[in-house]
Amino acid sequence: MTKPSRLAVVRRNLKLILGNPLGALGFGIVLLLVLVAIFADFIAPYGYADLNVRDRMQGPSPAHLLGTDQLGRDTFSRAVVGTRVALLVALPAVGGALFFGMLLGMTAALGARWLDNAIMLFLDTIRSFPTVMFALAVVALVGPSLATVVAVVMITSVPVYGRVARTQTLALVNSEFILAERTMQASFLRILFVHMLPNIFGVLAILAALDIPAVIALEAGLSFLGLGVKPPTPSWGVLLRDGYALIRSTPWLVVAGVIPVILATLGFTFFGEALRDVLDPKLRGRG
């Protein structure tokens, strides 16, 4: 039996995801969001900070697809540029959490007993802060910014990845194929990089895909509280913050802010779950 090429595996998995209606929907939405984020400057019909006081607080119209805000800025353009902010927070934060979680989890599993205990206790300690509460404490001390949001999300997510990486590593160390590699005198580094890393990474990647919606929601939430990105940077949370302040005069701002958040969380969730079902059928339906 020849080993299928990497490209063929990706193509097969993509086909499986697209074969599931929700997976296809999720994939479509994710692709759309990524494209919107990349080409935001071309898609947005107006500048995200362009003021036009004469046309302020309008409802949707052909000129302003999602209406305008209290300063006459085009809400659609702001939502489009906000996509970039959302992904700029979510992807590095989840990627960083995955990396450090894997590092800590594998170290705990392969290291000495005391190191294992110390790392796990450290992760449990971080986990003992409710995410938003921890975020608020950090923001209060170091001030709000995009970097703070990324750091907070990364720190609070590391324990979950660390725990899973540890369990996965422990299971692998005792598995038969690793034992076989050892008897064949494969070096430690070869076992680590060729055999263990890909197996651990797969599980963590699924976790990461399922984590992205929560991270997007957290960024939007912090920005909604005025503790995330700073104006005039248009985060979806900032749109909602403006909308909330004006909820009694116009419903459009809230509606315009809610649409991309719901689209993103649903899209990434459906995509992540389809990805999980394809890559790890054992996890199916675990919730």
- For residue 32, CA distances in Å to 25, 61, 83, 104, 219 come to 11, 23, 10, 34, 20
- Identity of the residue, 194 or 247, whose beta carbon is nearer to another protein in the bound complex: 247
Q: At what angle are helices 131-142 and 197-224 packed, to 10 degrees?
A: 70
The residue within the footprint of another protein, chosen from 102, 119, 200, 240 (CB under 8 A), is 240
Structure tokens at 264: 């993103």
Answer whether the bond into residue 62 is a cis peptide, omega within 30°. no
The residue within the footprint of another protein, chosen from 166, 269, 275, 276 (CB under 8 A), is 269
Fill in the per-residue mask, 107 to 146: x = in contact with another protein (CB under 8 A), - = not in contact.
Answer: --------------xx-xxx-xxxxxxx-xxxxxxx----
Q: In the complex, what is the shortest distance from the CB of residue 139 to another protein, in angstroms, rounded to a whole number?
A: 7
Instruction: Establish if 247 lies at the interface with another protein (CB under 8 A).
Output: yes
Q: In the complex, what is the shortest distance from the CB of residue 270 to another protein, in angstroms, rounded to a whole number?
A: 7
In the block, residue with structure tokens 């890909």: 198
264 touches 2 (CB < 8 A): no
The residue within the footprint of another protein, chosen from 79, 108, 146, 217 (CB under 8 A), is 217
The residue within the footprint of another protein, chosen from 14, 16, 18, 22 (CB under 8 A), is 22
Residues 6 or more apart in contact with residue 58 via CB below 8 angstroms: 64, 67, 68, 252
252 touches 67 (CB < 8 A): yes
Q: Which amino acid is at 109?
A: A
Question: Which of these ranges, 35-43, 78-86, 182-190, 246-254, lies near another protein under the rule CB under 8 A?
Answer: 246-254
Instruction: Establish if 82 lies at the interface with another protein (CB under 8 A).
Output: no
Q: In the complex, what is the shortest distance from the CB of residue 287 to another protein, in angstroms, rounded to a whole number?
A: 3
Question: Which of these ranges, 73-81, 98-106, 186-194, 250-258, lies near another protein under the rule CB under 8 A?
Answer: 250-258
Residue 56 region, left (φ>0) first, then alpha (ψ -120 to 50), else beta?
beta
d(CA 87, CA 91): 6
Give contact residues for another protein (rule: CB under 8 A): 22, 121-122, 124-126, 128-134, 136-142, 213-214, 217, 220-221, 224-227, 240, 243-244, 247-248, 251, 254-255, 257-258, 261-262, 265-266, 268-270, 273, 285-287
